[in-house]
Chains A and B, each alone.
Chain A
Amino acid sequence: MTAQSMLTWLGGLRHRLRLLRVVISVILLAALAAGGALALRVLRPAAPIQILPGQSLAWEIARAAGRSEGVQFVSGAYLPGDRMLLYARTAEADRARVRNWAALQLEPFAERLAAMSASEQLTWVIDFGPPPGEQEAITLPLRRAADLAYYRYVSSAPGLLGAAAAPDQPQTSAAPPAPQATAAPDQPQATAAPAVGTPSGTPLLNTAFDEASGAPSAWLPLSGVWAVKGGIYNQGDNTGYDFISMLNVAPQTHYMFEAKLRLGEGEMGGGFVYNVPDTKARTGAQIVDFDLKGSFLRWGRYDDKGAYVYEGGVKLDAPISDGGWHNLRLVTHGAASMITLDGRQFGPIKNTSASGHVGLIASKTKVDFDNVALTALPETGGVPLPQPTAAPAPATSFRDDFADGNAQGWQVLSGTWQIVEGAYQQTDLNGSDLGSVTPFTSDSFTMTVRLKRIAGDIGAGLYFNMDKRDSKARSQMINYTQVGKAIQWGHFDDGGNFVFEGSAPVPDGNDGAWHTIGVRVKAGAAAFSLDGKEIATAVKLAYAGGYVGLLSSHSRVAFDDVTISAQ
């Protein structure tokens, strides 16, 4: 091969290489296009899903409701064979308006809803109002959207969840606390505390005090200045106590009484009277109302002379004297009642009367009432009462340092008990032998508790060997006496009368410092100690065993570090 031919061949090779590069480029670009086309297939829309009538109905309701003024969000879902779920969030702050709004949204779809399965429910959860907001859960049979009588409401207010726990809730180790809100009792899901939800029943009265239904003839004022003004039933005198307006309805035993109330000027509040024997007198009636400008929810009764007898209460972290409407509901079933305030539950409260009339009450305060409703309930689904005679689950120890901010498990016997700065305080300065009782029960145990005087003459001590958690009758006790100069012990007999058994002088306990009282019980005898030093031994006891609790007489006392262990 000559040099000339070599150069020619190389020139050809160079040309062929350029051509090859072009060919390769074309192939690669074609591959890119083909690859892109194939890859795009993965972005094809998902296969269409079969739309069930309930699903489209839920979406349509949600879409329609979402167009309402102030509504921020609505969503719907349908679970075939079970229920339709709706969720809404709205700026509307009034609970009653939220309920009305929800019913109005369902109305146009009532016919289509009526064609759904009879076994299905509709649950609509609505968050409403400014943050943190409140919540309304509405349940009804899916086919009954047009009939308001089937609507059940479960209210809750997240803003109140941070309030001090109600010390009066009977929580035992065997019965964990019921949830804040559960479904209505006619639903199979409601397995815990049926009375917590809204029971079904027969409406006896539902008045918004408008021109048609707010006829004053339904009401029998006993005292005070009661008048219907602008769709509101108002008590306008804030100078006196116990202004009552009775509802002219036959006495009931199983019923739900509810109303919206708004506190005006005044230093106490208002509420309900119930189980009233006679519409013309308050004697024998029970009361649940507010005190201290709506910052304290209390319950009690009028004795046979018409005098108020305080039975218990709870301090509210968020007073209801905020100028807004609040929902108060009472559910009573003969032996006991439950109270619900803006979705938060209190009770049960032991009834002193099994049945009676109902009415509204205001003391030293102008109060507005609206949307008053009385509903007769079936006898089933009663308020869960503490069962003092039932044997509690055996526990070998009980401890509470109240650091968790609640007093779960304690049952208030009397007085006002609340958690203050990590300790359990009884804050009533008046009243003797005020108590709060643990679920612990034994006839052989050791107990210590730290306590200190906050105000008043220290009368703090312990209950033990109590026969019942809700009565001081048939119980042992030990407490400070003589303004902290001595400790005494004794028992309350069958009638609740104190029987002195002994005492011992001690260093001044009224000094505002923490002191530790100890009790050791074994074989019907007890030994007592104060700040680690024994003050009495082999004290023969009237009652050998039972519940253990705290006691306070005529003093505000803080208790902490309760430690009980069975021996």
Chain B
Amino acid sequence: MGRSDMATVTDSSPRVRPRLAWLRLNARAALVVLAVFLSTRIMLLLAVFLSSAAIPMPSSTNGYASPDNLLLDGLIRHDSWWYVNIAEHGYTMGDLATGQQGTVTFFPLYPLLVKLVAGLTGDVFVAGVLVSNLAFLAALGFLYGLVRREYDDETAARAALYLAAAPSTIFCAAMYTESLFIALVCATFYFAHRRMWELAAAAGALAAATRNTGVLMAVVIALEGMSQQGMRLRPERLLGPTPAATARIWADHLRRQFGIALASWRSLLAAAYVAIGLLLYMAFLQLTFGDPLGFIHAQATWGRSTSATGITKIFSNVVTNLNLGPNPWAGQLNTLTVLNVLSTVGFLPLVVMCAFKLRPAYAVYTALTFFVPLSTGTVGSMTRYVLMLVPCFVLLAVWGRRSWVDRLVVAIFLPLTTYFAILFSHWYFMG
């Protein structure tokens, strides 16, 4: 071998090594995500199966999707049947006069996917569970990738584990829309963070077609784009020595921010595109029922309404819903309300801390996702809604670098996860 040949071999090494390292890194990430997904799903399914086999169902159960398969059957509960209904029979507006509840309040992407997959599997229940779990796997993947970009692999793994082992994670395994929505939220965050605005726009639009709060992803994308360009809410110096100097400081600041906004045109366009998901659904409602805001109006058939002052009634509603008897320690209270209150109170500090510790886009998304449901005046279903506070799980993962925090989180989460799974599979409404 001559000298030139040696040089060729030596020169090629630096180009090959980074690729190998990248592959190794991503293979490890995939394995971690898969391990988190599988371990938590197996634990959940075991709880569902063993409890369903051992503990009799309440006599007033509403139906069984698959009595011969406790694993599948235990994941089809409560709202699952509404998605089945939509996938099989299409939407209904509901009727206050007859008490028929309108299914248009459920956004279309999840039932649409279930219907499409059911065309392949031939079973709408299997399709529902398949869509939910594949979406949740994707959610964990995007979350891991997102956190790894900002922090490190360990933090990313913890964030994925905390989300997968969250107390109400059974909703991500069941035929519910949560896992798909979380996947699309994480995807939007991930692509926006990587400045892949087209993909962020697509993910955001799909999120907007999945849940009513999905349209918030427009704010996320816009804020993320502008903050990446260096946008700041206030100038470094708030006041000048004279009023004229102060005015000049603020004028310069606003001019600079306007320039930043112009430079962020791609993210702003992507943010605007997010509304497509909602607009398409509204167009569908207009064409089908003549009411583009049907998804809001039909809320009345569920006895819900949203108002700015609703949040002020939370305390009185909680007291009412707790239904405390003379001796609460004898079980004379509504445990579901207790769980909802615990979820709300437990996540409130995290939501507040997100504003100080995480990126502006995350903080805004978290605050809106947390407070919009509370604007109904109740803490109902907060056990489930907190699953969508993805940045809170990121914050927990960051704090989890301290081993005692990590152990505390896992010690709190895992027993509750099993408890939720057992109750859910036994037709107890959990959120």
Identify the A interface with B (CB < 8 A): 25, 28-29, 32-33, 36-37, 39-46, 72-73, 131
Contacts and interface: CB of A to CB of B under 8 A. Distances in A.
A37 B279 CA distance: 10
B128 interface: no
Given A32-B276, A72-B60, A73-B60, 10 more contacts: A25-B198, A29-B205, A32-B205, A33-B280, A36-B280, A40-B108, A43-B86, A43-B91, A43-B115, A45-B90
Interface stretch (B156-164, B281-289, B356-364, B371-379): B281-289
Contacts of A41: 284
B90 A32 contact: no
Interface string B68-107: 0000000000000000001101111000000000000000
7 contacts: A29-B202, A33-B205, A36-B276, A43-B90, A44-B288, A45-B92, A46-B89
A43 B111 contact: yes
A46 B92 CA distance: 9
Interface string B102-124: 00000010011001100000000
Nearest to A130: B59
Nearest to A35: B280
A29 B280 contact: no
Contacts of A33: 205, 276, 280
Interface of B: 59-60, 86-87, 89-92, 108, 111-112, 115-116, 198, 201-202, 205, 209, 273, 276-277, 280-281, 283-284, 288
Contacts of B86: 43
Contacts of B111: 43
Nearest to A47: B90
A410 to B, nearest CB: 36
B120 to A, nearest CB: 14
A44 B277 CA distance: 17
Contacts of A42: 90, 112, 115-116
A41 B116 CA distance: 12
A39 B116 CA distance: 9
Contact of B90 (A28, A29, A46, A73): A46
Contacts of A29: 198, 201-202, 205, 273, 276
A73 B61 CA distance: 11
Nearest to A34: B280
B202 A45 contact: no
Contact of B108 (A25, A43, A72, A73): A43
Contact of A32 (B91, B108, B202): B202
A308 B116 CA distance: 75
B374 to A, nearest CB: 30
Contacts of A45: 89-92, 288
Contacts of A40: 108, 112, 280-281, 284
A36 B60 CA distance: 39
Nearest to B87: A43
Contacts of B92: 45
B107 to A, nearest CB: 10
A36 B279 CA distance: 11
Given A32-B202, A43-B112, A37 B280 contact: yes
Chain B CB within 10 Å — which of A25, A32, A37, A43 has the most?
A: A43
A474 B34 CA distance: 82
A402 to B, nearest CB: 31
Contacts, number: 57
B165 to A, nearest CB: 33
- Counting from the closest, the 4 A-B pairs by CB-CB distance are A25-B198, A45-B90, A40-B284, A46-B89
A42 B91 CA distance: 10
B208 to A, nearest CB: 10
Contacts of B284: 37, 40-41, 43
A41 B284 CA distance: 8
Contacts of A46: 89-90
A443 B356 CA distance: 100
Given A29-B201, A45-B89, A45-B90, A36 B277 contact: yes
A371 B89 CA distance: 48
A131 B276 CA distance: 53
B112 A39 contact: yes
A185 B377 CA distance: 59
B198 A28 contact: yes
B188 to A, nearest CB: 14
A42 B90 CA distance: 7
Contacts of B288: 44-45
A73 B63 CA distance: 12
Contacts of A36: 205, 209, 276-277, 280
Contacts of A39: 112, 116
A177 B89 CA distance: 43
B30 to A, nearest CB: 26
A43 B116 CA distance: 11
Contacts of A131: 59
B115 to A, nearest CB: 6
Contacts of B112: 39-40, 42-43
A478 to B, nearest CB: 51
A32 B60 CA distance: 43
A559 B277 CA distance: 77
A46 B281 CA distance: 18
A134 to B, nearest CB: 14
A36 B205 CA distance: 10
Nearest to A39: B112
A73 B273 CA distance: 47
A44 B86 CA distance: 9
A545 B87 CA distance: 69
Contacts of B198: 25, 28-29
A32 B203 CA distance: 11
A61 to B, nearest CB: 15
Contacts of A28: 198, 202
A44 B90 contact: yes
A42 to B, nearest CB: 6
Contacts of B209: 36
Contacts of A25: 198
Nearest to B119: A42
Nearest to A28: B198
A87 to B, nearest CB: 14
Contacts of A73: 60
A488 B201 CA distance: 100
Contacts of A43: 86-87, 90-91, 108, 111-112, 115, 284
A325 to B, nearest CB: 22
Nearest to B112: A39
B297 to A, nearest CB: 16
Contacts of B90: 42-46
> Which residue among A32, A36, A39 has the maximum number of chain B CB atoms within 10 Å of its CB?
A36
Contacts of B108: 40, 43
A35 to B, nearest CB: 10
A25 B108 CA distance: 24
A40 B115 CA distance: 11
A72 B209 CA distance: 36
Given A29-B273, A37-B284, A44 B202 contact: no
Nearest to B106: A43
Nearest to A73: B60
A46 B202 CA distance: 29
A224 to B, nearest CB: 42
A138 B276 CA distance: 56
Contact of A44 (B87, B91, B281, B283): B91
Nearest to A132: B59
A411 B115 CA distance: 58
Highest count of chain B CB atoms <10 Å: which of A40, A41, A72 = A40
A36 B276 CA distance: 9
Nearest to B276: A33
Contacts of B277: 36
Nearest to B288: A44
Nearest to B89: A46
Contacts of A72: 60
A555 B128 CA distance: 66
A46 B288 CA distance: 11
Contacts of A44: 90-91, 288
